[in-house]
Chain A
Amino acid sequence: MTDTGTEPRFESVGAVRDGLRDVQYLADEGIAGIVYLADRLQKPILVEGPAGTGKTQLAKSVAELTGARLIRLQCYEGLDESKALFEWNYKKQLLRIQAERGESGGPSWDEVETDIFSDDFLLTRPLLEAIRAEDPVVLLIDEVDRVEVETEALLLEILSDYQVSIPELGTVVAKQIPLVFLTSNNTRELSEALKRRCLYLHVDYPDMDREKEIVLTKVPGVSDALADQVARIVRSLRQLELKKSPSVSESLDWARTLLLLGVETVDAETASSTANILLKYQSDIAKALKEFSTDQNAAKVFAPGPK
């Protein structure tokens, strides 16, 4: 099953990390290592972690790095075979049958039947498309925890054997092994069968140094000192018990805002007046302000709670 002649894409873990850095994705040791392993073992990666830590971005960046086409399957409740795998183009089939009917000496029914269940009438959906692609592709199955447990079974064949069985056509085997990423926000426990087929990667909030670096690369024009302060404040915020901790994308937004406002150094006042960019719940903002300033009145001004 693995003899499809796909060459390893990466030389070493270091090569993955440097490559990702070139496309502006700062991977830590774990992320780079697992991407490298997934390539070598030809296994999909299941990426889990809090929202906004760059799970989807990882797949995009790997695609950019390898020069592969990104095929994306966004999962949602009620996703089924005809949207994920393939579908017969029945309107076209109908036209074909009707076109044949007019002529008296036309082809027999058997011929028509084999004809209408051929490649021409097949609508490929993301999963099948990734399998049949001739060029290198990266397949991203986004938010896989949104589909029902039963629908997960659709993915199993493709994840373990890189093939799709179509009853009328037979089995389509991958011409090249695509790199597959599955992301999950962990709203439910995924089935054992799915997890077993994947490498598991938990992407957490980055540590302070990495976050600072991310801010520096992603926000052009930001000064080193400001990036440092942003990373520090965000780290301290994440240690509080909040309803929703600030994500990486939110700290980037915050850094951009500060830059637009022309802020050189963050003081308590700017922090509290722009806190709504980092924190999305009124109660979180109130809590953070209470924690960070001894001045209780300030907290009340900026966070008028319901009671």
Chain B
Amino acid sequence: MTDTRSPMLELLSGFISELREAGLPVSLTENLDAMEAITHIPIEDRDAFKYALAATLVKNHAHWRAFETVFEVYFSLRGGHHAIGDDTDDLAQLLDDMEGEGDQGNEGEGMGRGGGGGDALTPEELAELLYQALMQGNDALLRAIARQAVRRFAGMEPGRPVGGTYYLYRTLRNLDLDAVLDKLMQQTRDKAEDQGNPLSPLEERLEEDEFRIRIESLKKEIEAEIRRRLVADRGVEAMARTLRKPLPEDIDFMHASREEMVGLRKALYPLTRRLAVRLARKRRHGRKGPLDFRSTVRHSLSYGGVPAEPKFRYPRPHKPEIFVVADISGSVAAFARFTLMLVYAISHQFSKVRAFVFIDGVDEVTSFFEGVEDVTEAVHRVNTEADVVWVDGHSDYGHAFEAFWEKYGKEIGPKTTVMILGDARNNYHASQSWVVKEMQHRARHVYWLNPEPRSYWDTGDSIVGEYATFCDGTFECRNLRQLEKFVDHLA
């Protein structure tokens, strides 16, 4: 080990502690592995370096994003062409190269003045350049344009206390990528028509996907450039802290952004599949049934009449019937959308799932999920068609439960597991908790999942405590991790 490596070690230990801060479980052995791994690869190979760290430190694909962000922050200013300040030459260089080609081609006059460097371009020329780069899928040129665009449009000033998203918004607004996409599509269409074979819908779709992917990669370049500049301005630690995002399993359902919601939906599917697998396994390997006397005697014959090998009856398979009763009022709207997705997911895994939604009235929505392939469509139907408003559309758990008991109470049997999802914020109506008590009597289990943090329970108009007395379990369920814990408990 030479002296030059010690700053590297320091950087790496900072990097790892930031990963831990972000919630990744990095153990000591993994830390040591990473240290050893990087001695085996050429340090100037940035990609190899990244993969080496990832292979030793990140053991769950869901954490990859978090890792990538931290990596970009820590190592974005290192390595040859990643330093700040050489971007002008970058673009100029590329333009020179292109000009050489342009002499034989047709694109020459559009960028003739590019030789003066990226800054010399007029906005129109830059837009034209961007358009060409997207058309040809020229990655190097796109990267250079991204840098130029950030320099020009983002208006970044050292020490300005705004987030990266603000700069990103400013840059993208100036580039107006939607219009660029339209223009690209239009030209592709025209070109095809000129050649006598207009695009079929399939071809058009493929072309559009291609352009979208290129534009996406341009956006990523711009984001990376902004991040680089912010890191240079504010320092690594500060930047890592501001960029720190919760891991997928820690995202709060109530405050999930649209994008996070999509991610959650993807994560839900394996969770329910896991639940189903686990239940099936339990069925096969679980506690044996009562002693099978006849079979035991029969098998004792081979031991000379000694019942050496006791035989048991197979246990009756437990086929759970699940009733989901979900609050879909405004106060838990984000959570409600999530619970509906959960209902959709489990209804595909279990033979008998019935779904009910309520605000101050209650309605069964099982049929909305049957034979539906698109969950968003089902959720939309639930939100628009279900008859859940009784008086004013403010949560009234008491009345909703009463109505539920009246209409569907008889159908709860000893096989039924009832899951109630809601924050129990009752707007000071009567609680009618006897309904939950009756349900507990009849059903196999009654569980309550509450999307609020435990410390908020029973504050204000929340009366979850009153219902909890009659539930077999009350669970705080704000993120996937907690939901998974509940699933473990259930199975």
Binding site for B on A (CB under 8 A): 13, 29-30, 33-34, 36-37, 40-41, 43, 45-46, 48-49, 77, 148, 186-189, 192, 195-196, 198-202, 229, 232-233, 235-236, 239, 243, 266-268, 271, 283, 286-287, 291-295, 306-307
Name B43-78 residues within 8 Å CB distance of A.
45, 47-48, 51-52, 54-56, 58-61, 64
Complex CA gap A61/B115 in Å reads 49
Whether a CB of chain A sits under 8 angstroms from the CB of B37 is yes
Residue numbers in A under 8 Å from B373 (CB-CB):
243, 283, 286-287
Residue numbers in A under 8 Å from B209 (CB-CB):
232, 235-236, 239
| Cβ-defined contact, A196 with B37, below 8 A | no
| Cβ-defined contact, A40 with B40, below 8 A | yes
Name B11-60 residues within 8 Å CB distance of A.
25, 27, 29-30, 33, 36-37, 40-41, 45, 47-48, 51-52, 54-56, 58-60
| Cβ-defined contact, B202 with A267, below 8 A | yes
What's the least CB distance linking A287 to chain B, in Å? 7
| Cβ-defined contact, B277 with A293, below 8 A | no
A188-B47 contact in complex given A41-B40, A268-B200, A292-B205, C-beta closer than 8 Å: no
What residue in chain B is nearest A199 (Cβ atoms)?
A: B55
| Cβ-defined contact, A196 with B30, below 8 A | yes
What residue in chain A is nearest B56 (Cβ atoms)?
A: A199
Complex CA gap A200/B64 in Å reads 11
| Cβ-defined contact, B201 with A306, below 8 A | no
| Cβ-defined contact, A37 with B41, below 8 A | yes
Complex CA gap A266/B203 in Å reads 9
| Cβ-defined contact, B206 with A236, below 8 A | yes
Residue numbers in B under 8 Å from A48 (CB-CB):
61
Name B260-306 residues within 8 Å CB distance of A.
270, 273-274, 277-278, 281, 284-285
| Cβ-defined contact, B41 with A187, below 8 A | no
**A-B residue pairs, 5 tightest by C-beta:** A195-B59, A199-B55, A268-B202, A283-B373, A33-B51
Whether a CB of chain A sits under 8 angstroms from the CB of B190 is no
In this complex, how many residues of chain B approach chain A with their Cβ under 8 Å: the count is 40
| Cβ-defined contact, B281 with A77, below 8 A | yes
Residue numbers in B under 8 Å from A283 (CB-CB):
373
Mark B196-223 against chain A: 1 for CB-CB distance below 8 A, else 0.
0000111001100110000000000000
| Cβ-defined contact, A232 with B210, below 8 A | yes
What residue in chain A is nearest B281 (Cβ atoms)?
A: A77
Whether a CB of chain A sits under 8 angstroms from the CB of B371 is yes
Complex CA gap A46/B33 in Å reads 15
What's the least CB distance linking A251 to chain B, in Å? 15
| Cβ-defined contact, A200 with B55, below 8 A | yes
A200-B54 contact in complex given A41-B33, A187-B273, C-beta closer than 8 Å: yes
Which residue of the partner chain, among A29, A188, A268, A286, contacts B201 with CB atoms under 8 Å?
A268
| Cβ-defined contact, A201 with B55, below 8 A | yes
What's the least CB distance linking A33 to chain B, in Å? 4
Binding site for A on B (CB under 8 A): 25, 27, 29-30, 33, 36-37, 40-41, 45, 47-48, 51-52, 54-56, 58-61, 64, 200-202, 205-206, 209-210, 270, 273-274, 277-278, 281, 284-285, 371, 373-374
**Can you report 13 residue pairs joining A to B where beta carbons are below 8 Å apart?**
A29-B47, A36-B40, A37-B40, A37-B56, A40-B40, A45-B55, A188-B274, A232-B210, A233-B206, A266-B202, A268-B200, A271-B202, A295-B201
What residue in chain A is nearest B40 (Cβ atoms)?
A: A40
Residue numbers in A under 8 Å from B36 (CB-CB):
41
| Cβ-defined contact, A37 with B206, below 8 A | no
| Cβ-defined contact, B202 with A292, below 8 A | yes
| Cβ-defined contact, B274 with A294, below 8 A | no
Residue numbers in A under 8 Å from B61 (CB-CB):
48-49, 186, 202
A200-B59 contact in complex given A77-B281, A236-B209, A268-B200, C-beta closer than 8 Å: yes
Residue numbers in A under 8 Å from B64 (CB-CB):
202
Complex CA gap A13/B284 in Å reads 46
A34-B202 contact in complex given A13-B41, A202-B64, C-beta closer than 8 Å: no
| Cβ-defined contact, A13 with B48, below 8 A | yes
Residue numbers in B under 8 Å from A30 (CB-CB):
47, 51, 54
Complex CA gap A295/B201 in Å reads 9
Complex CA gap A182/B146 in Å reads 41
Residue numbers in A under 8 Å from B56 (CB-CB):
37, 199-200
- Given contacts A186-B61, A307-B371, 4 further A-B pairs with CB under 8 A are A13-B41, A30-B54, A41-B36, A202-B64
Complex CA gap A243/B345 in Å reads 12
Complex CA gap A288/B41 in Å reads 43
| Cβ-defined contact, B51 with A34, below 8 A | yes
Complex CA gap A34/B54 in Å reads 9
What residue in chain A is nearest B273 (Cβ atoms)?
A: A187
What residue in chain A is nearest B28 (Cβ atoms)?
A: A196
Complex CA gap A243/B51 in Å reads 30
Residue numbers in B under 8 Å from A232 (CB-CB):
206, 209-210
Specify which of B29, B45, B51, B205 lies most central, judged by the most chain A CB atoms within 10 Å of its CB.
B51
Complex CA gap A36/B37 in Å reads 10
| Cβ-defined contact, B270 with A186, below 8 A | yes
| Cβ-defined contact, B201 with A200, below 8 A | no
Complex CA gap A46/B373 in Å reads 33
Complex CA gap A233/B205 in Å reads 9
Complex CA gap A233/B203 in Å reads 9
What's the least CB distance linking B193 to chain A, in Å? 17
What's the least CB distance linking B259 to chain A, in Å? 14
Complex CA gap A201/B201 in Å reads 38
What residue in chain B is nearest A188 (Cβ atoms)?
A: B274
Complex CA gap A201/B64 in Å reads 11
Complex CA gap A36/B55 in Å reads 11
Complex CA gap A186/B59 in Å reads 12
Residue numbers in A under 8 Å from B58 (CB-CB):
200
